[in-house]
Amino acid sequence: MRVPPSIIRAARPPRPAFQKGVILRCDHCANDVPDGVFCTRCGAHQGVSPETGDPKTREHSYAAHPGEHVIHPSVFTTLFPHLGQGKVHEFRWALVAGLAGILLLYLLGLITAAILVAAFLVPVLYLVYLYEAQVYRDEPATVLGFTIGGGFVVGLILTVITVHLVNPVSTFAGLAANLGTLFLIGFGIPILQEVVKPLPALLLRSREPFTETIDGLVFGVAAGLGFSVAETLIRFSDVIVSTPVHTDPGSWSYPLLTLAVFQPLLQGTTTGIIVAAIWRHARGRFERREWGGVLVALLGHIAFSLGSAVLAEQSFDPLVVVIWQAVIVGGPLIYLRYLLHHSLLEEAAHMGFAETVCPSCHMHIVASGFCPNCGMALVAAPVHVRRSRRRREPALGTAEGA
């Protein structure tokens, strides 16, 4: 339970009124801010309660979706950070509907169609999200071209090359050849992919409207998803081209789940982490957390590919492979949330006080960087909400420092 700030501050001398509310000095950033549960300038929790942990890092309240803990395995509030609560719900249902469609195609024996839908499902949802949140501001063609488009192009090139590298080797008999293939699949290709996937998105780094880490994160995820589409199309081109329209569904159920969910999530999340870390570097904040992110992305990808290959090689049940992939993808996903949460708190710039409606708690607020009521970082609000902010200067000359 949150301790009302009015109780904590009862002992302090009264401060000048901020029109409707009261202005108080934040214990953490020393700015004068409208009274609220969270500081609108630095995002710190203003209450002191053992349950909420460190009020400055407030890990019980994820800055993009304050209703959730930072350590929470949620796909949509992590990879689609601009979505409000209601929209998250819609996107979840859209994913479920897409998966149901794939299942139907599978049951009808339309494997080629099922593979195609699986390849495009999550990337298309992401395209809708980019449109919904207007992350690209006024440059949709440039942003989509360098993220999803660029990822797709590098995905085509790299996968064509790697498919040629791996296939001939695997035709040799013997342990050495197998080990070589395994090394390539388990280490070489994942590392190569992580190096190549972020490249197109980097061309957007110096563009003025996209300097926030949350922009880099979204661009990285988009590039990773574009890559994932190309990878699936090339790797399964033989199946897509040569399989008759109607086939026996056979053992396709788990591979389809990998193609529709876990592979795109892995490719999007790892590149999201790496591009977000590069954006942090551009802001002069590449530290332990960012190095950790790059490491988690690389190790996660290696564990995913190597583990899947070894389990398949050892003839484990395909369900075990899928469970392995789900568990492994969870690691980078949670790290991405952690990275975004701390970036949002650390990069809190003074956006000027303005009247707006919080996209998370729907309260009408006067705020700078964070909703004083629920603590949402308003940089993560959809662009149309950010554009509808109405400036409202604090009355009575309160401190504007930092």
CB-nearer residue toward Zn ion: 358 or 385: 358
CB-nearer residue toward Zn ion: 31 or 228: 31
Strands (E), 15-156: 17-18, 21-25, 32-34
Distance separating alpha carbons of residues 224 and 269, to the nearest angstrom:
7
CB-nearer residue toward Zn ion: 213 or 360: 360
Binding pattern to Zn ion, positions 27-46, x when CB under 5 A? Answer: -xx---------x-xx-x--
Shortest distance in whole angstroms from residue 241 CB to Zn ion: 51
CB-nearer residue toward Zn ion: 42 or 64: 42
- Contact call for residue 260 and Zn ion (CB under 5 A): no
Q: Do 329 and 265 contact (CB within 8 A), yes or no?
A: yes
Distance separating alpha carbons of residues 72 and 256, to the nearest angstrom:
26
Tell me, what DSSP letter sits at residue 370?
B
- Contact call for residue 26 and Zn ion (CB under 5 A): yes
> Distance of CA 208 to CAs 136, 311, 314, Å?
12, 46, 51
Burial of 51 (0-12, 13-18, 19+ CB in 10 A): exposed
Residue 205 main-chain phi, psi, to 5 deg:
-60, -40
Q: How far is CA 236 from the centre of its chain?
A: 26
Shortest distance in whole angstroms from residue 348 CB to Zn ion: 8
Q: Do 71 and 342 contact (CB within 8 A), yes or no?
A: no
- 53-92 positions binding Zn ion, by CB under 5 A: none
- 306-365 positions binding Zn ion, by CB under 5 A: 358, 360-361
Shortest distance in whole angstroms from residue 396 CB to Zn ion: 19
Q: Do 225 and 122 contact (CB within 8 A), yes or no?
A: yes
Shortest distance in whole angstroms from residue 334 CB to Zn ion: 23
Which range touches Zn ion (CB under 5 A), out of 51-59, 136-144, 307-315, 369-377? 369-377
Amino acid letter at 191? Answer: I
CB-nearer residue toward Zn ion: 44 or 340: 44
Distance separating alpha carbons of residues 181 and 169, to the nearest angstrom:
6
- The residues, ordered by sequence, that sit 6+ positions from 141 with a Cβ below 8 Å of its Cβ are none
Shortest distance in whole angstroms from residue 180 CB to Zn ion: 55
CB-nearer residue toward Zn ion: 229 or 376: 376
Shortest distance in whole angstroms from residue 26 CB to Zn ion: 3
- Contact call for residue 373 and Zn ion (CB under 5 A): yes
CB-nearer residue toward Zn ion: 66 or 255: 66
Which range touches Zn ion (CB under 5 A), out of 20-28, 81-89, 92-100, 236-244? 20-28
- Residue 164 gets the label, from left (phi > 0), alpha (psi -120 to 50) or beta, of alpha
Where on the chain is the footprint of Zn ion (CB under 5 A)?
26, 28-29, 39, 41-42, 44, 358, 360-361, 371, 373-374, 376
